[in-house]
Amino acid sequence: MPTRTPTEQPAEVLRPHAEHLYADELTALAAADDRPRPARWRLSPWAVATYLLGGVLPDGTVISPKYVGPRRIVEVAVTTLATDRALLLLGVPGTAKTWVSEHLAAAVSGDSTLLVQGTAGTPEEAVRYGWNYARLLAEGPSREALVPGPVMRAMAAGLTARVEELTRIPADVQDSLITILSEKTLPIPELGEEVQAVRGFNLIATANDRDRGVNELSSALRRRFNTVVLPLPATLEDEVDIVARRVGELGRSLDLPEVPSGSAEIRRVVTVFRELRDGVTADGRTKVKSPSGSLSTAEAISVVTSGLALAAHFGDGVLRPGDIASGLLGAVVRDPVADRGVWQEYLETVVRERDDWKDFYRGCRDAEQR
């Protein structure tokens, strides 16, 4: 089975793959990287970690950070991929599991598209292989009639495969990975053959245990993974930086106005999310009730991006409290009864009492009355 090379993406693609969006950085890292590389890796483990965490190369090239968090977590994740153990990125929703998975695959293999998206309806064929039924009926089982899945293609080419939302996949389909991860082989009983993984192959899975409808991993499958837990951003400044960076990237792809550095609205959204998530105000003086939603960093990015789109298309292009209030209300109030009470109490006891948040308070109150 030949090595798969990702096709070039047109400039108008809404969301380019990581290996295309950051091609210049990956090229610069490869040129400066003189450290040992595992078989079929595009970069050394050190360079992969630098790609994710950011840095400055000897020639002055700036590598932008893709992940803001403890360096050791990234180092453990990268080192795992250099062994025969698969990597499981675990964390609550919105902790950048998919983002880290994509960038790891892009840096290691130069291809982040060998992806199985886990859902409650993901069939075993998506994990293993399927068939071209027209050829199957006409010719019977054959290599030509077989349609390899992303994992099989990664095994044959020595690349990195990805399985997103592993715990959303039915348990019997999950367990089809056990032989692949333990024996590094994928049997094809219809042909009396197998596909053996070549050096360089590995698999990254992501999962969280907070969503409803989750299928627990069997102990046999969990043992095949090295688990790395991605935490929520440790500080307000870290989370503000993440949100501002991603909103800027999304805004450029959508032709939205730039958000000024140090935007007060981004800081306010992140502060609200952190206080409601933690159950206490930033100064530690006031306890607050937490709503039913996860209030993740990813949701904060969505709230600010939606507000920026409102400001661009129905305002003067400047992000204001009224632009983000509706999105914020929708993110917090998931349960119309319980969450609304939590939100109203937070507005009246916390937001209203902050002198420099008066405009934000009015915007949120107006959003409730619409």
The confidence score (pLDDT) of residue 281 equals 96
Lowest mean pLDDT among 5-14, 69-78, 344-353: 5-14
The per-residue pLDDT for range 282-318, each reduced to its tens digit, is: 999 999 999 988 899 999 999 999 999 999 999 999 9
DSSP 166: G
State percent of the chain over pLDDT 90. Answer: 85
| DSSP string computed for 207-238 | E-SSSTTPPPPPHHHHTTEEEEEPPPPSSHHH
Per-residue model confidence (pLDDT) at position 177 = 96
Mean pLDDT computed over 87-116: 95
Strands 86-90 and 160-164: unpaired
d(CA 195, CA 223): 22
Tens digits of residue pLDDT in 19-60? 999 999 999 999 999 999 999 999 999 999 999 999 999 999
Asked if 86 and 204 touch (Cβ cutoff 8 Å), the reply is yes
Distance between CA atoms of 184 and 352, rounded to whole angstroms?
59
Q: Identify the pLDDT of residue 340.
A: 93
pLDDT tens digit string along 183-232?
999 999 999 999 999 999 999 999 987 665 577 889 999 999 999 999 99
